[in-house]
Amino acid sequence: MNVFRNLERGAGRGVFRNEEAFSPEFLPEMVVGRENEIKEIAFNIRPVAERRRPASMVVHGPPGTGKTCATRHVLKELSEYTQRAEPIYINCWRRSSRAAVLSAVLEKFDMVMPRRGISADELLQRAVELIRKSGKTPIIVLDEADALVEEGEEGIFYDLLRMNETERLNLGVIAITNREDMLSLLDRRIRSSLMQADIGFARYGPAELKEILKERAKAGLVPGSWDEEALGVCAAFAGKNGGDARVGITLLWLAGRKAEAGGGRITVKEVEEAKNRVLSEIKGRKEELLDGEDRAIMEFIRKKESVKSGDVYSEFSGVTERTMRGRLGKLESMGLLESEYVQGGKGRTRVFRAKG
Ligand SMILES: Nc1ncnc2c1ncn2[C@@H]1O[C@H](COP(=O)(O)OP(=O)(O)OP(=O)(O)O)[C@@H](O)[C@H]1O
Ligand SMILES: [Mg+2]
């Protein structure tokens, strides 16, 4: 018997109705329990529909509390509501330089850009021209915005300020971050102009997590293929791990995979067996966002027990120390690395270790 046919006939067939519902890009139909936050974000952007300048804002809160999900939901509704806005979503882990962010803006206005060879100042100039010509108002979402600060690329905030103050483009900025303290380090002028409102997302409690998981199960799993109790265990585990919905959803997905290979039903047993893989799965997905250079740094550090910052600098000698410090800072804020200062022969040095 063909091995695939055999699998098809196996007891586990068809736990997933739409496995995409468990991917990080999936945007749920319903954002559970974030009505107030969504309303506030929308209220700040609303002026764009009347060609007035929207209020820019910071959206902050711990991992997995729905910041990205709620903001993308608002962008989607905004596109349906008015043609005057041009929502631009940028993940700054992926695009962590001034030039990379500006290129994302240009690409959205259909400009095909060579990544190298054009200075950031020139990119800015072109962006201003294109935006003006389009007659649309960009709503620029800088997700994981602290990566820009970590990498010493705060210049982008001055570019955005300039677009608004000098060029009078009236664009809106939504900076999303886990680390509000990072953005509070920025210049007062930037804060008062680009961070006028502040929207906090609190950690989810077990009841909210259970509700989110119920909705996700309905969207992604075959009806009747899971036990209620199993969802409860996923929610409790997510609750213990920082009230992080991503933990619960990933656990449910892993349990679904187990069920598909086995009994064809997600029970407490499958969930229990999948628990130990959740956190490394989440870390693996984050690493997929990294560019080649960041991956090489991770690989270099992972091969050893721990690495002194000086050894990283000399291994990657083509990169300036300042740039490398920024990259290491970003990888640490992503939760992929951890560091501590130790007393060495020549004073204190920073030592890095791969997490997990
Ligand atoms: N209220 C909600 N309703 C439905 N799904 C949700 C809700 N909140 C979060 N999720 C889901 O949980 C996962 C994590 O949410 P999200 O990515 O929005 O978190 P985040 O706050 O942006 O976290 P991070 O700071 O790590 O980026 C996503 O799969 C998202 O779809
Ligand atoms: Mg997010």
**Residue bearing the bigger pLDDT, 156 or 180:** 156
Whether 166 is in a domain gets the answer yes
pLDDT tops 70 at residue 38: yes
pTM of the predicted model, to two decimals? 0.91
Of 28-42, 183-197, 218-232, which range is least confident? 183-197
Domain finish residue from 284, 317, 346: 284
Cα 24 to ligand 1 centre (Å): 9
Count other Cβ atoms within 10 Å, centred on residue 243: 21
Pocket of ligand 1 contains residue 71 by CB under 6 Å? no
Phi-psi map region of 273: left, alpha, beta (phi>0 left; psi -120 to 50 alpha):
alpha
Strands (E), 113-193: 137-143, 172-177
Whether 3 is in a domain gets the answer no
Q: Which residue has the least CA distance to atom 7 on ligand 1?
A: 66
pLDDT tops 60 at residue 11: no
Whether 6 is in a domain gets the answer no
Mean pLDDT score, 34-49: 97
Atom of ligand 1 lying closest to residue 215 CA? 4
The residue count for the chain: 356
Pair 107, 182 in one domain? yes
pLDDT tops 90 at residue 8: no
The rounded distance, in Å, linking the Cα atoms of 91 and 48 is: 23
- With the most atoms of ligand 1 within 8 angstroms of its CB, the residue from 23, 38, 68, 281 to mutate is 68
CB 278 within 8 A of CB 244: no
Contact residues for 217 (Cβ-Cβ < 8 A; gap 6+): 226, 231, 252
Of 64-73, 114-123, 151-160, which range is least confident? 114-123
Whether 272 is in a domain gets the answer yes
Looking at residue 351, its pLDDT comes to: 95
8-state DSSP, 168:
-
Pocket of ligand 1 contains residue 72 by CB under 6 Å? no
The rounded distance, in Å, linking the Cα atoms of 198 and 67 is: 12
Query: Phi first, then psi: what are they for 350, rounded to 5°?
Result: -95, 135
Count other Cβ atoms within 10 Å, centred on residue 352: 22
Whether 20 is in a domain gets the answer no
pLDDT tops 90 at residue 153: yes
Pocket of ligand 1 contains residue 246 by CB under 6 Å? yes
Which tokens belong to 302?
């992972």
Ligand number nearest CA of 244 is 1
Whether 72 is in a domain gets the answer yes
Looking at residue 182, its pLDDT comes to: 81
Ligand number nearest CA of 71 is 1
Mean pLDDT score, 68-88: 97
Count CA atoms closer than 13 A to 5's CA, side-chain side.
2
- Indicate the average pLDDT of the chain: 93
CATH code at position 134: 3.40.50.300
pLDDT grade for 7, boundaries at 50, 70 and 90: low
pLDDT tops 70 at residue 177: yes
pLDDT grade for 181, boundaries at 50, 70 and 90: confident
Task: Please report the DSSP string for 75-107 in residue order.
Answer: HHHHHHH-SSEEEEEEETTTS-SHHHHHHHHHH
Pair 194, 55 in one domain? yes
Whether 181 is in a domain gets the answer yes
Mean pLDDT score, 286-290: 91
Cα 344 to ligand 1 centre (Å): 42
pLDDT tops 60 at residue 9: no
Pocket of ligand 1 contains residue 105 by CB under 6 Å? no
DSSP H helix total and E strand total for the chain: 17, 8
Count other Cβ atoms within 10 Å, centred on residue 189: 12
**Crossing angle of helices 155-165 and 98-108, rounded to 10°:** 50
Q: Which residue has the tokens 């800088």?
A: 142
Pocket of ligand 1 contains residue 239 by CB under 6 Å? no
**Residue bearing the bigger pLDDT, 114 or 60:** 60
Pocket of ligand 1 contains residue 33 by CB under 6 Å? yes
pLDDT tops 60 at residue 250: yes
Q: Where are the alpha helices (DSSP H) in 195-308?
A: 206-220, 228-240, 245-261, 268-274, 278-287, 292-302
Looking at residue 110, its pLDDT comes to: 79
Element (H, E) at 60: strand 57-60
Domain finish residue from 200, 233, 266: 200
pLDDT grade for 10, boundaries at 50, 70 and 90: very low
CATH code at position 336: 1.10.10.10
Which tokens belong to 275?
């628990």
Element (H, E) at 58: strand 57-60
Cα 347 to ligand 2 centre (Å): 38
Pocket of ligand 1 contains residue 64 by CB under 6 Å? yes
Residue type, 81: Y
pLDDT tops 50 at residue 340: yes
Domain finish residue from 200, 219, 244: 200
Looking at residue 141, its pLDDT comes to: 98
Mean pLDDT score, 333-341: 93
pLDDT tops 50 at residue 23: yes
Whether 4 is in a domain gets the answer no
Cα 72 to ligand 2 centre (Å): 10
Mean pLDDT score, 150-161: 95
Say whether 337 sits in a helix, a strand or coil.
strand
In the chain, pLDDT over 70 holds for what percent of residues?
A: 95
Domain span at residue 152? 35-200
Pocket of ligand 1 contains residue 247 by CB under 6 Å? no
Looking at residue 163, its pLDDT comes to: 96
In the chain, pLDDT over 90 holds for what percent of residues?
A: 85
Looking at residue 12, its pLDDT comes to: 44
Pocket of ligand 1 contains residue 34 by CB under 6 Å? yes
Atom of ligand 1 lying closest to residue 177 CA? 25
CB 216 within 8 A of CB 77: no
Pair 280, 210 in one domain? yes
Q: Which residue has the least CA distance to atom 24 on ligand 1?
A: 63
Q: Which of 178, 174, 146 is nearest to 62 (CA)?
A: 178
Q: Which residue has the tokens 């970590």?
A: 150
Pair 160, 274 in one domain? no
The total number of structural domains in the chain stands at 3
Mean pLDDT score, 165-194: 92
